Structure 1
């Protein structure tokens, strides 16, 4: 059985010893899934997958990996998100680069992709797609990956986010069908779109400080802060969508927990139609599906 001491590991110690120590330290810091995170951190430092580490726990950790591992472990103990340490995050079928300029893509947001694909089931449809607040580009790129005749534009107020989304498009082979702009959401857009996606900021301003430190300290405030009641961005979206949607067009908006009724009310006041709401894997109303009146084409499907 592998044993380990909490301190004093040196180059040449085994992978098993490093994993044991890291797991103990992470567990003591109340990090969820400490054993998994230890494997991810050490694999990152050694340029190996977690599976490769487990296949040979007696292999020695090379000297050049020790400093990288120590820095990564220290960052995680400071509640830097794992995705920021690794520089990558999986979403849908994509592997995406991430940075502190954007929200980290979350599995809950895949409910928006599912809703969008259900609204437009024809894989050959030449859709025009708009993603407002694109961040990493995760929503737009996931839809483009599944709809090969579609073209999309992603807009973000943060130039660094728009640049990162463009990088993700290139790395996932989608750059030819995606363009990214830095600016205020709809200010410079004159076209009409079949599908509008958005994961807007929806956290109440006063609640941000109470979020887990990985979020409150390390993710961008502009992408989190939805104003005093969490609805500021939805008010802007509700007014913008009627001019952005083509006839028969559909909008899919991410919701925070408990926000469905309020956002539906804003949409109705703006003259939009309600097509339904898709829950995430946790059973939370997550993807609100709206249409421009009068309904037509794919937008008529619930």
Structure 2
């Protein structure tokens, strides 16, 4: 049980507890959890390490540290995560946005600038929107854009709507309950998706933080991990505006197979992006006759 009576001592205790349990980012997770419990900042830890800690704060810190040791991801415990400079709420049926997905956002924005610039009234469709992370990141940079976030989960859409409102984009974001394109109408300049791409056989090998806390249907896509891409490739062109682009996140070893699926449906690979680890992570396609 935590016996710390000051902020500095509580941070040290939390860090040691997590490190002893084998948590790889013990220092970061301890800081995030203690800051959350005490409503303090990194500056407070430096300038006021002797700040008193109440019994309630110690008890709550103990509870949250125990949850982290049991395998619950730190941002699931906190209930939010930062993505592309935005603060996003999480819920049970949303994936936790990861930094790798920012590669997809950046790649789309590069194409936007090449195609006409940030100030055009871009129409964006984010399929499998989850928290709304990708759509809202694009709206945060494209001031005249409007986005539709489609998802099969009403819970996810409620979370995305709340995130849009919280980040000042609510008037430019529409939530659509849809199984991929099923209930979507109209054409879009930008179709973007971070679809499920984990193979069935790989599910059991994922970290406990993923297996027990991320929604399975948002991650697993058939025996080869390509089921969602097949549907996106087969149906996407009917929803693309003239000159539009379709961009997807991929697994690190899926560039060739996903590109093949889209080229078979008349698309052409326009650009690809790598994540910070150097892995292929995002692809942008356009019509096969696009320049």
What TM-score, normalized to structure 1? Answer: 0.92
Q: Distance in 2 between matches of 1:29 and 1:54?
A: 26
Equivalent position SS for 1:200: coil
Equivalent of 2:70 in 74, 78, 90: 78
Q: Distance in 2 between matches of 1:98 and 1:67?
A: 24
Q: Is residue 190–residue 245 contact of structure 2 (8 Å, CA) maintained in 1?
A: yes
Per-residue deviation, 1:92: 0.8
Q: Is residue 248–residue 294 contact of structure 1 (8 Å, CA) maintained in 2?
A: no
Partner of 1:66: 58
Change (3 A) 1:231 1:8: closer
Partner of 1:221: 216
- Establish whether residue 113 from structure 1 lines up as the match of residue 105 from structure 2: yes
Q: Distance in 1 between matches of 2:54 and 2:64?
A: 16
Equivalent of 1:9 in 3, 8, 19: 3
Partner of 1:57: 49
Equivalent position SS for 2:268: strand
Q: Is residue 127–residue 150 contact of structure 1 (8 Å, CA) maintained in 2?
A: yes
Describe the superposition over 1:254-275 as per-residue Cα deviations: whole angstroms up to 9, x where unpaired: 0001000000010011111111
Q: What does residue range 189-208 of structure 1 map to in structure 2 within 5 Å?
A: 189-208=184-203
Gaps of 5+ in 1: 1-6
Q: Distance in 2 between matches of 1:272 and 1:90?
A: 33
- Establish whether residue 101 from structure 1 lines up as the match of residue 93 from structure 2: yes
Q: Distance in 2 between matches of 1:77 and 1:51?
A: 26
Partner of 1:169: 164
Per-residue deviation, 1:60: 1.4
Per-residue deviation, 1:230: 0.5
Partner of 1:287: 282
Partner of 1:4: none
Which is further off, 44-53 or 70-79? 44-53
Q: Distance in 1 between matches of 2:41 and 2:121?
A: 38
Per-residue deviation, 1:87: 1.2
Q: What does residue range 40-51 of structure 1 map to in structure 2 within 5 Å?
A: 40-51=32-43
Q: What does residue range 123-202 of structure 1 map to in structure 2 within 5 Å?
A: 123-202=118-197
* Runs of 4+ that moved beyond 3 A: none
Per-residue deviation, 1:22: 1.4
Q: Is residue 198–residue 220 contact of structure 2 (8 Å, CA) maintained in 1?
A: yes
Per-residue deviation, 1:8: 5.3
Gaps of 5+ in 2: none
Partner of 1:254: 249
Partner of 1:3: none
Q: Is residue 96–residue 138 contact of structure 1 (8 Å, CA) maintained in 2?
A: yes
Equivalent position SS for 2:282: strand
